Chain A
């Protein structure tokens, strides 16, 4: 991520300036613009940069036999003490503590990180820029080094760039590493001639459970990611994954003590059978979920229709009421106008008669002289009225 900078072009001038000496600082201030005019430059404290610098934990996946509080208390996972535990999703073999809804993540950044060898994993990713998340758990350097990206198609080798590690980490690589770890345990346990049947059984099943948990967590995470992307390809991916497991299992060398499984073929079959069972269950669950969703949608649609009809009825009623009100208002207005007109007519009649009376009086006076009394004690002065014809200001109205 390159720094954004603004280049300047300078010129040299001679200036009167002052040099400060013997400065005694009383306070350093946080200010909008620093005295020397250059701003804070913001970078991340871990100096990793790029896609990994804000990796937020989406969820923490813990095998069923593990206890979250015990893990936090007794291992190097004590930094998870602030993890939220209220959003817990229970799966067949493991539990998921959801920290941030998966929809808030940039789907292309989602990945998995192994937090502890006891089979504790985390789904991590970058928060999508359109969302805001507060108080989220983030990954430290140590965990980031183990980050792997989860591709939509598990068989494709999609690379997670890790700046300080030139080797790309892929889902396949991590998957194979987990698988070979499991196989190592199987080989090692079977080759220990002194081990009892019970010890072998415990060792192999423990490793198998850890591998199974990882596989299921990975597959479920891929499925969640696909769901979020609105892509319905879970079963195809599962098929691919099963084929991949089967292929790898074929490479298992024969030999050793076969107390637990007669031969590798039987072991391979056991794994395949188990995963096929999981596939069937997953499909059944998916079908049930789809049915439930369809029913819910039908119910919602029906409810929406009822609401829509009620709204239409209400709108029609409101319209009718509005029309009625408009009509009533119009009638009231006409009635009021009539009343006003009658009052005006009456007043007009009165005024007309008064004007008529005044006009008659004026006509009688005719050309007679009148006298205006002086108001300041001066001599009274006669004024001649020159125009003998009177014009009524109401003539326009009267005519």
Chain B
């Protein structure tokens, strides 16, 4: 039986307005995803290496549409230590992507794109595991990025989650005369042309 750590660590994207770069974990070892699936660090390493070996630097699509978006993978690495300066999780596959098309960069800024996912082929091996599941979460959201309608701000939130990490109920406080609904733990829903990303850290240590 495996022990899966379900402790939400910080996932980070380094963004430069001038260079249009985002950095993010494509996959983190021993973290259950939304399909209740996980991978070992070795498998992630293999996956990351094969992706580059095949010369797939242009294979970034939008919402799994399997069409090249014009974005390019400009960096790819496996996190080696426990204390990564950007808080990437050890063993995770991180890519840096150059978001070249204007509309996709706007999407990053407005919160339409908040993370990476991947599409491909794999074998799934069922097993039983002891998993840390999040029950409650509270704190402050990331600041908004798009200031077209409302100045930069953040909201305080409180969430109750089910065993699959889905939001059972959530409260987002009011700021600048508005609030947001929240259906997924990674970000609030968009309102007034912006949303807020939610970075979870495990208070249990």
Contacts and interface: CB of A to CB of B under 8 A. Distances in A.
A3 interface: yes
Interface string A35-48: 11111111111100
Contacts of A130: 151
Nearest to B152: A129
B171 interface: no
A6 B142 CA distance: 9
B174 interface: no
Contact of A18 (B37, B141, B161, B198): B37
Contact of A27 (B4, B119, B139): B119
A19 B41 CA distance: 11
Nearest to B164: A15
Interface residues of B, number: 112
Contact of A36 (B31, B64, B133, B140): B31
Interface in A20-62: 20-46
A30 B200 contact: no
Contact of B113 (A5, A31, A38): A31
Interface residues of A, number: 48
Nearest to A38: B11
Interface in B18-42: 18-19, 21-22, 24-28, 31-40
Given A5-B140, A26-B66, A28-B60, A132 B148 contact: yes
Contacts of A17: 2, 4, 32, 36-38, 126-129, 131
Interface of A: 3-46, 129-130, 132, 138
Listed from nearest, the 9 A-B pairs whose CB atoms lie closest are A34-B115, A6-B139, A40-B13, A45-B16, A39-B197, A38-B11, A41-B12, A7-B203, A18-B124
Interface of B: 2, 4, 6-16, 18-19, 21-22, 24-28, 31-40, 43, 46-47, 50-51, 56, 59-64, 66, 69, 71, 73, 86-87, 95, 97, 99, 104, 107-108, 111-143, 145, 147-148, 151-152, 154, 157, 159, 161, 163, 165, 184-187, 197-204
24 contacts: A4-B142, A10-B133, A18-B36, A19-B125, A20-B123, A25-B56, A25-B119, A26-B121, A28-B97, A30-B99, A30-B113, A31-B116, A32-B187, A34-B117, A35-B33, A36-B27, A36-B32, A37-B186, A39-B115, A40-B22, A42-B14, A42-B142, A129-B147, A138-B18
